[in-house]
């Protein structure tokens, strides 16, 4: 049986993202949203999650291109004086791996991000990461310790078939090849530990190679090639105008991604192929 989870990332980033998440849940196929604990519109996202209890919420771990939960004085090696992480993911990832002195600061901040959501009364069931930072070896080591402690039972493994993607979108071939290689290696390293802990994951994830370009046309194309078992599609929906998402992701097609989530054509195609849309808990949407 083919089963599909549809997730919105960056929940809490801005009002435009939050409105899109709620619309995607109420009017479309969205089943999950991943929340950013340190983002400016976190409080609004919590209110949306509370009034839509069927929307499953996970943590969108943020350690680059975002704001920390802890005060700058508690994690001086991670943030600037205003509490912002580095905007350079490559440089930050290298530092997190090489500088062992940052380990305790990283652990405190990751735990604080988890606890902030739980303290808001929102149960966390899964973890993924901004720019898939959750698969970084140092951060994954921390998450392996924290996930069982806080009852987190599902994790995103960013593995996607390159050849299948390039059938429908030939842009960024070199970049996609590098991304596929890197995240396949990280996924292969993480999977045995997740299996040991009994933490579930989707067999394949769509959204890694076409991040910000998960349009209706592309989604309709890739649905036919879904494999048996559990697949996750993740999106970055948004409603414009919105200064924050336009500043951070100027090339992303936020409104087109929301249109794909709410598309009657996508819904009908899933019905024709008898693909079950559900969340990580197994609750069926259609």
- Reported as a single tens digit per residue, the pLDDT across 45-89 is 999 999 999 999 999 999 999 999 999 999 999 999 999 999 999
Segments of the chain assigned E as strands:
2-11, 32-35, 56-61, 126-129, 154-155, 204-206, 229-235, 276-277
Instruction: Give domain limits for the chain.
Output: 2-277
Phi-psi region of 87 (alpha: psi -120 to 50; beta: other; left: phi over 0): alpha
CATH class of 2-277: alpha beta
Q: What is the mean pLDDT of the chain?
A: 96
What's the average model confidence in pLDDT over 265-284?
Answer: 96
Q: Is the pLDDT of residue 149 over 90?
A: yes
pLDDT at 250: 95
Q: Which among 40, 41, 16, 84 has a CA at the least distance from the CA of 258?
A: 16
Question: Could you give the percent of the chain with pLDDT greater than 70?
Answer: 100
Query: pLDDT value at position 169?
Result: 93
Q: What percent of the chain has pLDDT over 90?
A: 98
* Bridge-based pairing state of the strands 204-206 and 154-155: unpaired
Q: Taking each helix axis from N to C terminus, what angle separates 254-261 and 15-27, rounded to the nearest 10 degrees? A: 20
Average pLDDT value for residue range 133-156: 97
For residue 160, give the nearest of 208, 193, 200 by alpha carbon.
208
pLDDT at 286: 81
Contact 250, 30 (CB under 8 A): no
């Amino acid at each position: 049986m083919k089963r599909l989870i549809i997730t919105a990332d960056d929940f809490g980033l801005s009002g435009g993202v939050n409105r899109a998440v709620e619309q995607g849940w109420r009017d479309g196929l969205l089943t999950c949203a991943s929340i950013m604990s340190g983002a400016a519109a976190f409080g609004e996202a919590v209110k949306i999650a509370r009034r839509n209890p069927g929307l499953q919420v996970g943590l969108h771990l943020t350690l680059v291109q975002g704001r920390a939960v802890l005060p700058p004085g508690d994690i001086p090696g991670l943030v600037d004086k205003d509490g912002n992480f580095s905007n350079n993911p490559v440089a930050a990832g290298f530092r997190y791996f090489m500088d062992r002195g940052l380990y305790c600061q990283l652990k405190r901040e990751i735990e604080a991000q988890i606890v902030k959501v739980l303290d808001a009364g929102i149960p966390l069931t899964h973890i993924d990461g901004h720019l898939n930072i959750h698969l970084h070896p140092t951060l994954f080591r921390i998450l392996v310790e924290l996930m069982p402690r806080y009852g987190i039972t599902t994790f995103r493994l960013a593995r996607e078939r390159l050849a299948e993607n390039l059938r429908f979108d030939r842009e960024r071939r070199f970049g996609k090849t590098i991304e596929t290689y890197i995240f396949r290696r990280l996924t292969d390293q993480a999977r045995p530990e997740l299996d040991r802990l009994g933490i579930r994951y989707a067999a394949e994830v769509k959204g890694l190679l076409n991040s910000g370009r998960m349009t209706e046309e592309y989604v309709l194309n890739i649905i036919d090639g879904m494999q048996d078992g559990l697949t996750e599609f993740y999106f970055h929906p948004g409603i414009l105008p919105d200064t924050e998402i336009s500043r951070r992701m100027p090339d992303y097609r936020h409104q087109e991604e929301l249109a794909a989530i709410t598309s009657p054509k996508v819904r009908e195609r899933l019905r024709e192929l008898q693909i079950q849309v559900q969340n990580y808990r197994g609750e069926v949407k259609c």
